[in-house]
A and B are shown apart, each in its own frame.
Chain A
């Protein structure tokens, strides 16, 4: 085994130990910080941790109780099964991972200074009086330099209201929001930023913001109140919005003539586990205000309004189906 391979194995072993520690109910804040420090030490640590994250996501894809039961039944039967295979001079089987598309949360979200769990919403006041609200499953770091108050958004969605109308935190300090795709600079007060898969969605509620895609050669785009933009790392696409983009700060998801599939996708952001709808009903149109703090009630409201029934395998595996 080469040195690099040995080092890689050591790193994976360390990642496994961190994981076992973090899964424990007794984990302390100090240990969580030590883990963040370990990640920051070396990109190889981050890489190893991504594998941990992948494993965790994979295990979250299967419904708990019957899966556990099935694996236990099979383990009991393994002995007799081995007899069948003996004639084949068994070789160790390599893993066949990779055929599933895991939705992997960015590794940074594990070590971010501000974060919310799924279904959680949290409000902060930053230095200088900026109001910051984190929507469900959000992770970010706040970095203060002498000239900037920098919010690095790794995942999720935030609402920002700066204290005065200039977008400045203090006389000589600008607020900026960074994402993988670029930078958002407020020239006014109220806006939301949401991290989507390969783009960043910015909605301006009052005044203006400036968008600077990462690789657009310094080109910028201004957005005014009532506009929403999708920013990729190279360009910006602007549209007007009729939706109430900040209704989530009041615990509501407002849909106006949405296809059901969109409503389900939005609601699933606030739930742990899998929530989806059958293709046959995906196109049904739906309008209304749905409570995001009680998504079961929201699902019930959908089932009352549409020819749809809610199928629950467990509370983590819910499918909307046609009831006709």
Chain B
């Protein structure tokens, strides 16, 4: 991890709190190996986010800041893991065998992760309508039939899901 320059605020934070964070994560996850990974990823996320890196020198409670970021890293990790398993399961269920290179796979998983994250918190029918339109290319009438709702509801769901995604995309990243 490139925090070798010892005088940066992040480097100071790393040496002061990395060990503590790893212990905290180990208590939470029950696995020392995973805790070490998550602690590294937490600092990496701070390092790669300019707004986070700026905040460090002004922090009064560095540990509470660290645990906030670490929680997000952990949530993402669990989500990614679940999605990867679901993706492999979906591939098995394809009618014909599929070959995908590791690069393609990584790209698909990353995009799936982002889509899944964006649709989180929307109602089931809303996110289903959105996915059926984009991933299956169904017409509104077909989606309406599939979900047992009216066509005008499908249009409303589409608008709602799109608005939700746009708001997330335009938010300042944390």
A interface vs B, CB < 8 Å? 8-9, 12-13, 15-17, 19-21, 23-26, 48, 51-52, 54-56, 58-71, 73-75, 77-78, 81, 84-85, 87-100, 278, 311, 313, 317, 319
- Minimal Cβ-Cβ distance residue in B for A21: B155
Interface centre among A13, A55, A319 (most CB of B within 10 A): A55
- Which of B68, B83, B118, B141 contacts A74, CB < 8 Å? B83
- Minimal Cβ-Cβ distance residue in B for A94: B174
Contact B78 A93 (CB under 8 A): no
Contact A55 B166 (CB under 8 A): yes
CB of B136 to closest CB in A, whole Å:
6
Give CA–CA (A63, B112) in the complex, Å.
10
Contact A100 B117 (CB under 8 A): no
Contact A25 B115 (CB under 8 A): no
Contact B110 A100 (CB under 8 A): yes
Interface bracket on B = 35 or more
Contact B114 A71 (CB under 8 A): no
Q: A88-B74, A100-B107 are in contact. List 10 more A-B contacts (CB 8 A).
A: A15-B162, A21-B155, A26-B140, A52-B166, A62-B111, A68-B131, A71-B135, A90-B71, A317-B104, A319-B104
Contact A52 B162 (CB under 8 A): yes
Give CA–CA (A70, B135) in the complex, Å.
11
Q: List 25 A-B contacts (CB under 8 A).
A: A16-B159, A16-B160, A16-B163, A20-B162, A51-B169, A52-B162, A59-B115, A61-B111, A62-B135, A64-B134, A64-B136, A71-B83, A71-B116, A77-B82, A81-B78, A85-B78, A91-B68, A91-B75, A92-B121, A93-B72, A93-B75, A93-B76, A96-B114, A99-B110, A319-B104
Contact A8 B90 (CB under 8 A): no
CB of A14 to closest CB in B, whole Å:
9
Q: B residues within 8 A CB of A58?
A: 111, 114-115
Contact B170 A75 (CB under 8 A): no
Quick one: CB contact mask for B22-62 with A, threshold 8 Å, 1 for yes? 00000010000000000000000000000000000000000
Chain A interface main SS type: helix
Contact B168 A64 (CB under 8 A): no
CB of A263 to closest CB in B, whole Å:
20
A16-B162, A26-B140, A68-B135 known; A51+B110 contact, CB < 8 A: no
Contact A93 B120 (CB under 8 A): yes
Quick one: CB contact mask for B98-133 with A, threshold 8 Å, 1 for yes? 111100100110111011111111001001000111
- Which of B100, B121, B139, B165 contacts A25, CB < 8 Å? B139
Q: A residues within 8 A CB of B156?
A: 20
